[in-house]
Amino acid sequence: MKSYTTLDLSQETNNHFYKNDLGITQIGDPFILKASDNTYYLYCTSAANGYYCWKSKDLVNWSGKKMCYIKKSDAWCVDSFWAPEVVEYKNKYYMYYSARSTEGSLRIGIATSDKPEGPFEDVKNKPLFDFGYAAIDANVLIDDDGSKYLYFSRDCSENDIGGINKSEIYGVRLNEDMLSLKGEPELLLTPTQKWEKSSVNPLWNEGPEVIKHNNIYYLSYSANCYASSSYSVGYATSSSPLGPFEKSEKNPILTSGTSTTISGPGHHSFTVSPDGTEIWMAYHTHTDPKTGGGNRKLNIDRVLFTDKGELYVNGPTLCYLPIPSDGSYTNLAKEAHISSNVSTPHLLTDGIFTLHQKNSIYDSTIPISGEEATATITLEFKEPVKVSDILVYKGVTKGQEFQKVKAILDDHYQTEEYTMAEDTDERAAILSFKEQTVKKVQLILTPKNPTKNLSLSEIMLLRQN
């Protein structure tokens, strides 16, 4: 029997990981702006008379809470301050926000500031536009050619269609001044898919967010009631910023599903990692998943585009994950050759990990063998590399989960065995140790139950830079 030097695990002291417990609660509808000063600014539904703002350098640690917009006594609006979004354009900051007018109807306002943290002041003491119906949840897209578009939700409170109140998503050109509209809004999305109808009446398509990738416009949105566990995110695509849009058959792409510890993920926004190499989604979930309601907290998870051009979210998560990429670490897994007994080795390093059964196509299976009934995965490098952290993510196939994992490095070192916690949303085993230079990493996985195969969704090997 081989003798190994055992490496102690020190996950608690590693600063390359975060968990979706970011300390921002009693909020909703989070929007994150990465400003030109490379600082992140968070704006949320957060106060009775305006909005708070937080600051961060890494998307994980937030501080500096302050009011960035406060309603004036003679303002056009009185309450229901929801869903602020801020756009930086030509050294000025434009806040588009939702509020209830003095006449009692919901409208979208516009305020500006010379600083991302405010104070923001209304440009004019009236809504941005008024088409005679309630409107909320503004989102702005500045396209590659400089043209500007505003997306919003026509609120269900004043939109009765055949006896069902519906929130629907509209789009319209925005003028160069960012302060006025060009033309009439066009209807882009209305609740049609089965998953969007759990609330029965009213129905919602709200919280639009548009992102462009490979000349395709992805209009993502939330559906169902924000206070319920079924609040989720879907998306539609188009080759034009104003449609027509076609909803994805993969919807919803962010949902709590059958989880009892995550509830109501939705009303999101997009931003990029500190080094600009990754896309991230900010969204809210219920602070207390058992009660739901308006007390919500901030979450962030990574967003990817699959080979088929599908928008994919690695969430909602509660497990430990690598922090948004900032240049302090590198994931080396893609550089490794993975042992051939793995069914689809490329799926273990594609950046996608699975949380729901419908996404099991992104899992890889590994056969169980030997008297000890374990599965072995070998990752080999052409040249020696430095490794300090190994992450192994479970797949979603029932009965094929692993319970324990350890790593053997170059047949010299062995880590302590990591045991997965029971009855939690823990998805990843994390082996953190003093950095080692190696050419080969063997992972020994023990199944939770005796099965023919194990199901995994992702492996990461991190090097501290």
Residue 296 · residue 25 · CB < 8 Å:
yes
111 strand-pairing partners: 95, 122
Q: Single out the residue of 140, 141, 169, 139 nearest to residue 153, CA to CA.
A: 169
Q: Known catalytic residues?
A: 29, 206
First to last CA, the chain: 35
Residue 207 burial by CB count (10 A; 0-12/13-18/19+): exposed, middle or buried?
buried
Residue 65 · residue 46 · CB < 8 Å:
no
Rounded to the nearest angstrom, the gap between the alpha carbon of residue 123 and the centroid of all alpha carbons in its chain is 32
Torsional sign, CA 298, 299, 302, 303: negative
Residue 417 · residue 4 · CB < 8 Å:
no
Concatenated DSSP letters of 227-278? TSTT-EEEEEEESSTT---EE-TT--SB--TT-SS----EEEEEEE-TTSS-
Residue 362: helix, strand or coil by DSSP? helix
Concatenated DSSP letters of 47-75? BTTEEEEEEESSSS--EEEEEEEE--TT-
Taking the C-alpha atoms of residue 459 and residue 375, their distance in angstroms, rounded to an integer, is: 14
| Phi and psi based region of residue 349 (left: phi greater than 0; alpha: psi -120 to 50; beta: remaining) | alpha
Taking the C-alpha atoms of residue 103 and residue 122, their distance in angstroms, rounded to an integer, is: 18
Taking the C-alpha atoms of residue 53 and residue 32, their distance in angstroms, rounded to an integer, is: 10
Report the chain's C-alpha Rg in angstroms.
24
**Phi, then psi, of 197 in degrees rounded to 5:** -115, 20
Which DSSP state fits 452?
A: S
Residue 57 · residue 76 · CB < 8 Å:
no
Which DSSP state fits 374?
A: B
Measured torsion, CA atoms of residues 394, 396, 399, 403, in degrees rounded to the nearest 10: 20
